A = this chain, B = another copy of it.
Amino acid sequence: GFAKVDHHRKKRQGFPEVVFGEGKTAEQIISIIKALRAKNNQVLVTRISKEKAEFVQKACPEFTFNDTAQILFWKTEAEGNSHGYIAIICAGTSDLKVAEEAAVTAEVLGSKVRRIYDVGVAGLHRLLNHLEEIQNATVSVVVAGMEGALPSVVGGLVSHPVIAVPTSVGYGANFNGLSALLTMLNSCASGISVVNIDNGFGGGYNAVLIHQL
């Protein structure tokens, strides 16, 4: 009917189709995740509200909901890379939601994660206190709103790839995250690539692809 679930994806891409919860009804989500659960050993729904998630959980009680990340998931067994980890770094308290979307995505898809939060550039010593832990990661996901300068600073301090995630945190000339997005695309540091504004999922997913090479 309304959806053609891409069952071929796990074979083609390593991970099953991830469900974008926004704009789907709870009923639609239930019907899609039942189909996915039958053929995969992980199922991930992003951007799903607490209310919708709880409704879905009644029909699918084996699913877990993470409230900060707004992610509903199910996972049978540990797969993925057992050595190394992904550093998830964020600039301010308000970027937490997006950072957690990245972190939970990465964990459900089988990667180990270390969280280094509220270490924005206006107080550099906070970042430098965690330098070694960051430098030892296989890949970093750096989440920042407002002016979004943190990925440039991290990118200049590490030798691994940095995935930058701009957030819509800010006001006025922030233009809902445009400011942070442009900052990250124009970074002087060389090893940075960027995903969409507030796309914590994309940040986590790309990091997993790199971590699991």
Contacts and interface: CB of A to CB of B under 8 A. Distances in A.
A206 B193 contact: yes
Given A8-B125, A171-B196, A205 B190 contact: yes
Nearest to A164: B193
Contact of A191 (B13, B117, B147, B161): B13
A53 interface: no
Contacts of A190: 13, 15, 18, 122, 201-202, 205-206
B196 A172 contact: yes
A60 interface: no
Interface in A2-34: 2-4, 6, 8-9, 12-15, 17-18, 20, 22-24, 28
Given A181-B173, A188-B91, A195 B196 contact: no
A130 B98 CA distance: 35
Nearest to A14: B159
A111 interface: no
A152 B210 CA distance: 18
B4 A188 contact: no
Interface in A149-208: 149, 152-153, 155-161, 163, 166, 168-199, 201-202, 205-206
Nearest to A168: B172
Contact of A161 (B3, B177, B209): B209
Contacts of A23: 93-94, 169
B185 A183 contact: no
5 contacts: A8-B125, A22-B171, A124-B156, A168-B172, A172-B199
Interface of A: 2-4, 6, 8-9, 12-15, 17-18, 20, 22-24, 28, 91-94, 96, 117-126, 138, 146-149, 152-153, 155-161, 163, 166, 168-199, 201-202, 205-206, 209-210, 213
Given A12-B157, A23-B94, 11 more contacts: A4-B126, A6-B122, A13-B190, A123-B156, A147-B152, A148-B186, A171-B197, A190-B206, A193-B206, A210-B210, A210-B213
